[in-house]
Amino acid sequence: MLDKVPGLPFRQIIKHKSIQNFIFLAVIQASNILISLISMPLLISSIGVDQFGLVNLALSVIMLGNILVGFGYNLSGPRDVAIHHKDKVMLSHLVSNIIYSKVMMAAVAALIIFIAIIGFDFFEEYQMILAFSVLLLFSEAIMPLWFFQGLEKMKLISIANVFSKLLFLMGIVLFIHSPEASIWVNFLLGGTALSVNILLLVYIHYEMEILFYKPKFFQIYFSLKRNVLLLLSNFATHISINSGLIILSFFSAAEDLGMYSLAERIVMILRIFPSLIVQAIYPNAARKHQEGIHSFINFARKIYGWSILLGFVISLVTYFIAPFIVFFLSKSDLPPAVMYLKILSFIPFLACLNIANILMLLVTDQKDLLFKSSWITCLYMLGSSLILTDKFGTVGLCYALLSTEIIVFIISTIILYTKHSVITFRLYNFK
């Protein structure tokens, strides 16, 4: 079904820009996870379990707000930069429009949070923590990850990300010593990220000769309007991936929620793999598509084959070592958690099946098709999860999440076929 990939020397493989993109994106994710694991015991010992929980609740609200701030530019930005990577004038327009648009959305998200706190007295237990957390919205707004991703120059931003996380860790050690200091935790995280992101923008301006200017209102409006469907697609994807625990909370006791949460966290980390693949090869794939459909198809099929193989290996290994993983993280034997992890372990592999479809939708700029696919999948996930969890408990939810990955692949393939039947057949080699 898939073309064979010829053998390449290891050094040549490592030098490939898409491979380097993947490696540096993986470094960013790995450093985020590692710093989170290191900071967790430090924060719990300093501010206590209760305040630590409230800090994380505030962070969850901010992460939802960051979807609005991102406004789909994490998908459209790399493609636009990749296509115009040799045109500094066009890049200056792109960077200025996107940065100003995201800062505007950060201001809107911050205003919504403050209105909810002051006007409606929402988030009663952690209002001050959340208020100080809004700085994270603005650090997200000016983070130029999408720019370096489009240029396939991820080394600098991966180093910058690690540096900002180390500064955050140092700040915890130096300044967070009591429960009263909990309001400063997310502020510290946002402040370190904001400072490093400002330095990256300075580098982009002076070293890469990219000019910044204030766009006219209609330019910002057009830029945001162009990305509305991507924003809504991101919301649907967020709901599909992250609402399982919320649904389970209506049906299960706290103990079972903890068992499932442990398994889900492990799988969600592994599920990053297909996302990293798409992010890493997306800029190169966009350029290949500009060169011609034949060049894009050959490139996509080779990457797709390797992705499925590696995804299957990851899932299979996770399945067999599930008891060890659960014991290592919990320091005890938890048979229900092991069972849930074994079922969910095939999610990374199933998610890899849809890599080619997502890539095709992105490089052809089919926002409407991506929107339809995302929301149909979201509705299926919510419906199947509620029904199966009600009938079969946590195991039912696990199988609902597995089936969602299959359904999104089927739906995306059908939707692509209705718009690009010939290319879809060529992509999957149906001849």
In the DSSP assignment, the letter for residue 252 is: S
Q: What is the pLDDT of residue 140?
A: 93
The residue to which tokens 């592994």 are assigned: 270
Backbone angles phi, psi at 132, to 5 degrees: -75, -15
Which tens digit of pLDDT belongs to each residue from 304-336? 888 899 999 999 999 999 998 888 766 777 788
CA distance 349 to 156: 30
> Cβ distance 150 to 174 under 8 Å?
no
Q: What is the pLDDT of residue 430?
A: 47
Query: pLDDT below 50 — which residues of the chain?
Result: 1-8, 10, 430
End-to-end CA distance of the chain: 9
Q: What is the pLDDT of residue 403?
A: 93
The CB-side HSE value for 394 (13 A sphere, CA atoms) comes to 24
266 vs 261, 277, 326, CA distance in Å? 9, 19, 9
- The reported pTM is 0.78
Q: What is the 3-state secondary structure (H, E, C) of 107-164?
A: HHHHHHHHHHHHHCCCCHHHHHHHHHHCHHHHHHHHCCHHHHHHHCCCHHHHHHHHHH
Which tens digit of pLDDT belongs to each residue from 180-191? 888 999 999 999
Q: Which of 273, 267, 299 is closest to 23 using CA atoms?
A: 273
